[in-house]
Structure 1
């Protein structure tokens, strides 16, 4: 859905609403203070991250979820949190891009198995999308829900291409939430079971663990190492390398392969849905969703600067780096975001800003870049998880009444589709790696 209307300049003050950002800061700092909690469960480990707490805390304060919370923050104020979600993801994308440059030789030398197993996301679509459309009667939300495993870069891609208030945005956020809550334990259980069957090379299974999520990769590889203890070091090495490659290439595979294929398959499968008497869609998104106005360039940079302040504070509590020491690193990431946004504006290709941001960050971190050492030294002060915690806080506040109603109607369906999506991603990637080894 595209909307050419630009948010009125008089509304800029709402983007900088002190109460919204103060609540995000409070929620994020509390979540970072609690820290990471690991709970052993059978052969897997349930990893609870600060971003999960921040999301839950924000939901509990959201007046659309709990009406009495309108005394804390009004629905109007919460609505403007939706503008901050995509922008708050951008510094995270830049941080990962900076991490790719120093490892470029390792990426090149990783071999075809590591490079091509990312294409296993196509299996995600083949397994999950027909069920989402034909069994559960989903509309275009199935595209967001099934195009990938729906981690942060994928959420950013859907947000940038369709908007998180769109049907596709609802789908990707539904699977994202399910992954945040249950992804790590599900991957650990699935990996352990498949490894115990001894039907695939454990290296292929280890590569499949690298889906672009630190918590999921860690739980998945831990289960493999417990099942095949004599190859623990090999499992760890292949899983970590695969995860690094996914951060480098996963966004582009989703953008140029998985998402176009999902669009194609959705159109094909929908033809059969129309001929199925009991296939109905719960929600007419075109009727109930109002596409928000877009931000002007000035509004974008002002809000991004405000968000960077929030991220600095989150990093302070989570990493122990005070905002003054972390400021150079944040300015580097901010500059990457600004350049990426400008490149999207001036280059006539339908490439999301986050892709340009990633490219810019990779380039300045390459050994050939003159200030490579300084960039790496400073950006090392910014923690990855700490850049994500406020993102989920904004996302929790941005949940609208329509989204609440949708989850009440189709929460079970989203859970099933999420499980199929996770299964398709893991098995598809493992099968491609197995063939290439």
Structure 2
């Protein structure tokens, strides 16, 4: 981050206060249920928090600069990953007590990752045959385009080529709307009764902290009687995605996308490509240059304490009790720090949120000393109230480059992106449903 644009401690305090205010407004609005035929569309507080933060994003309008200067947006970007850590720890705490049910569903959890190939079965033909997209459709549809998927495309093709344009376009749309789309799909399908709720929970584990948070949160609201079990399955699935998702994308999904694209482009004479400008990869390089959270433990610990305080405040409003969630938030803070320290010292790399999840699973297994007390305290933490501030940070963090790319690529990449997310979720849910 450029020193001139670095946020001061007062700037960070202002950002956290703004996130608290927007989160409280969102929690006050509450959950709105809109009946749609056999299902129900759930509008969650995280939805309002995200939209309110976008409305105040300094890159969208200069009028908000006195309240939200651009440096606050820059500061919000690295906080998103830190803010999702307590939720990941809360996730893991549901896996430990449910370990027997998860083991019994093992094959479904492992093989549902193959359901992600549904992205190509739905999105790639549409991109090539209807929108007449060229090779950018490969990068856009072979995955949900999170950071590991960008790394694969960057290594194989480079980000300035058509495949790189495609994956970056879906990445931007996913950053802006992916969490909301997954939440809407999960809430609707969970209330429709077409799938086993456990299959839908497994399909939430897509390897993105904010997406899995929104998806599982909406599903738990749609099927409240199975809340803890659904969270456990979603958390276990997301953890397995970190272990298997990269390899499925690299050795199965990308080759299949190449093969299918060649067949479709020959059949319809596609391949010229749509008029999509190359993304500004400078922001990607800047992001890559930023130290990972575990590399600056002191700073991360301070930021983690701040976001845990924000989460506790939103929990107070959500639950109506002042101290009920405080012990649980402190436990989540400690679990997150332990996961960060492990990430720092182990001789191989695994994302910090994967280690945090493993730590919280271990500490809540029935044989772990004091696990019953830990589970009881953590049960007082409303997981959705933790996610709401994350989406507020995400709304503030959207950069000028992301808004510009969205304006350039317009409705075509939005359509393709939503089809990618739909194919990923439905494909995984179908495979899990067949194996349960």
TM-score, L = length of structure 2: 0.77
Partner of 2:160: none
For residues 281 and 267 of structure 1, what CA distance do their matches in structure 2 show? 23
Instruction: Give the equivalent residue in structure 2 for 1:211.
Output: 203
Superposed CA deviations along residues 352-401 of structure 1, whole A, max 9, x for unmatched, are 00000000000000000001011111111111100001101111111111
Measured after TM superposition, the shift of residue 263 of structure 1 is 4.2
Residues 202, 428 of structure 2: 8 Å contact kept: no
Deviates more, 1:174-183 or 1:345-354: 174-183
Tell me which residue corresponds to 2:399.
400
1:59-114 CA-partner distances (Å, limit 9, x unpaired):
11111012211121111122101121000000000001011111111212236346
Shift of 1:19: 1.2
Give me the CA root mean square deviation: 4.0
| Equivalence for 1:247 | 235
Q: Gaps spanning 5+ residues in structure 1: where? A: 1-5, 196-201, 223-235
Decide whether aligned partners of structure 1 residues 110 and 33 sit closer, same or farther in structure 2, where only a CA change above 3 A counts: same
Taking the aligned partners of 1:340 and 1:352, their CA distance within structure 2 comes to 9
1:207 offset after TM fit, Å?
2.3
Quick check: 1:118–1:246 contact (8 Å CA) kept in 2? Answer: no
Q: Distance in 2 between matches of 1:159 and 1:385?
A: 28
CA distance in 1, matches of 2:142, 2:10: 32
Distance in 2 (alpha carbons) for counterparts of 1:132 and 1:220 = 32
Task: Give the whole-Å Cα distance in 1 for the aligned partners of 2:58 and 2:367.
Answer: 50
For the 8 Å contact 1:332–1:379, the answer to whether it is kept is: yes
Partner of 1:3: none
Task: Verify the 8 A CA contact 1:114 1:433 in the aligned structure 2.
Answer: yes
1:387 is matched with: 386
Displacement of 1:20 in angstroms is 1.2
Distance 1:138 1:291, change over 3 A: farther
Point out where structure 2 has 5 or more consecutive residues left out of the alignment: 154-163, 205-214
Cross-structure match for 2:319? 319
Q: Distance in 2 between matches of 1:46 and 1:96?
A: 24
1:295-314 → structure 2 map (5 Å cutoff): 296-314=296-314
Structure 1 residues 206, 300: closer, same or farther in 2, change over 3 A? closer
Partner of 2:211: none
Note the 1:246-265 alignment, pairs <5 A. Answer: 246-253=234-241, 255-263=242-250, 265=253
Q: 8 Å contact 1:314–1:386 — kept in the other structure?
A: yes
State the alpha-carbon separation in 1 of the partners of residues 398 and 273 from structure 2.
30
Q: 1:243 to 1:360 in 2, by over 3 A?
A: closer
1:257-312 Cα offsets, whole Å, 9 max, x none, are 33333345448857979994335642233356551432622111111111111111
2: distance between equivalents of 1:24 and 1:158? 30
TM-score (structure 1 length as normaliser): 0.77
CA contact (8 A) 1:137 1:280 kept: no
Deviation at 1:50, TM superposition (A): 0.6
- State the alpha-carbon separation in 1 of the partners of residues 127 and 9 from structure 2: 37
Instruction: Work out the CA distance in 2 between the residues paired with 1:315 and 1:141.
Output: 42
* Aligned partner (choices 14, 23, 28) of residue 18 of structure 2: 23
**TM-aligned CA deviation for residue 131 of structure 1:** 6.0
Distance 1:193 1:364 in 2: 35
- Aligned equivalent of 1:53, options 40, 48, 66: 48
SS in 1 for 2:286: coil
Q: Which residue of 1 aligns with 2:83?
A: 88
